């Protein structure tokens, strides 16, 4: 099942289950969504529940937040999270802080979703990862899924959640196909927010990644296994709250840590994970300092040859693992 179809199924099932759920955003209705994630939903549910908006992120995000305060459950699509910068006041000041500022009286059950991070050949203003930005802010839950099961189970959980959720997808993954269990295909399938998944068990080193970086890490693991290096790959799934328990348990077992992300190095998700491990009991189990594999600290270049250099590749992960383990290439 493709990630696109998994997301579509999650939206359809939750709209069918709860008539308070509705979708709004640019081209989500008649055009079936810029990435065809909302395909067929306008025809099925009509104008009141699948709403095309003008190109004004601050405006329609504000409408969505207000409707959530009034008891609806909006799913607000941004054509790319880069454009969500136009609406960051609504996401942070209006949605994230209201439950706290109202002393727990006003919930804002809203999902902000859309493609995040690097696509392909779309340059700096369409290729930024906002995982670390939103994970920095109390009041938000932040999800960064990898597989089709992740996308379906976590989007359903996000829509049902009483708090604002930022749901960060990856454009490159929309057309990717992943196996789905019979359980995942059912309408009752939910993945709890805040639980990471061990995608590949291993004993020599822990690699922690999210979104498309999980795929790169699994490819690196396959390559390293050929030379006898057995790495454990953890798929974070959720960036806030972070599943410290799963990461710590793995690091205590393997005694080595590498983090992988497509975002920038400064104040990134990898930095946070390394800090938490160093501040915890797991630090005393480490046999080498943790290493981060990240995007390069520049706005995304447009030129394809430079774009490849700006993003972490499988070879970068392999090199980082060998460096931490003290293995000479």
Helix (H, G, I), strand (E, B) or coil at 156: helix
What is the rounded distance in angstroms from the CA atom of residue 119 to the CA atom of residue 310? 12
Query: Can you list the positions of beta strands (E) in the chain?
Result: 21-25, 50-52, 73-77, 111-115, 141-144, 165-169, 197-200, 205-209, 231-235, 237-240, 257-260, 291-293
Question: Which is catalytic among the residues 13, 77, 126, 256?
Answer: 126
Does the annotation count 57 as an active-site position? Answer: yes
- How far is 200 from 243, CA to CA, in rounded Å? 17
Pairing of strands 237-240, 141-144: antiparallel
SS3 state of residue 16:
helix
Active-site position among 14, 57, 77, 215:
57
Q: Which residues contact 215 (CB under 8 A, 6 or more apart)?
A: 146, 173, 176
Catalytic site positions: 57, 126
């Amino acid at each position: 099942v493709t990630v696109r179809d998994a997301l579509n199924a999650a939206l359809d099932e939750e709209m069918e289950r709860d008539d308070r759920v509705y979708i709004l955003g640019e081209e989500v209705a008649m055009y079936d969504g810029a990435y065809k994630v909302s395909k067929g939903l306008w025809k099925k549910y009509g104008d009141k529940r699948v709403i095309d908006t003008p190109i004004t992120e601050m405006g329609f995000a504000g409408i969505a937040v207000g409707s959530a305060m009034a008891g609806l459950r909006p799913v607000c699509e941004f054509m790319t999270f880069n454009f969500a910068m136009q609406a960051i006041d609504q996401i942070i000041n209006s949605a994230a802080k209201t439950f706290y500022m109202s002393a727990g009286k006003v919930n804002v059950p809203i999902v902000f979703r859309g493609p995040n991070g690097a696509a392909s050949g779309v340059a700096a203003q369409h290729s930024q990862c906002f995982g670390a930005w939103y994970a920095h802010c109390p009041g938000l839950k932040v999800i960064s899924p990898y597989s089709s099961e992740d996308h379906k189970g976590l989007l359903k959980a996000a829509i049902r959640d009483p708090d604002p959720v930022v749901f960060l997808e990856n454009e490159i993954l929309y057309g990717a196909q992943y196996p789905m269990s019979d359980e995942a295909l059912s309408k009752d399938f939910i993945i709890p927010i805040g639980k990471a998944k061990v995608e590949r068990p291993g004993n020599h080193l822990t690699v922690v990644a999210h979104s498309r970086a999980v795929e790169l890490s699994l490819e690196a693991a396959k390559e390293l296994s050929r030379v006898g290096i057995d790495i454990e790959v953890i798929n974070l799934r959720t960036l806030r709250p972070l599943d410290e328990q799963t990461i710590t348990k793995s690091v205590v077992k393997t005694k080595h840590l590498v983090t992988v992300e497509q975002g920038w190095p400064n104040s990134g998700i990898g930095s946070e994970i390394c800090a938490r491990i160093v501040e915890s009991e797991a630090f005393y189990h480490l046999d080498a300092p943790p290493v981060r594999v990240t995007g390069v600290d520049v706005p995304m270049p447009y030129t394809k040859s430079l774009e490849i250099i700006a993003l972490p590749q499988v070879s970068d992960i392999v090199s980082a693992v060998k460096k931490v383990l003290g293995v000479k290439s």
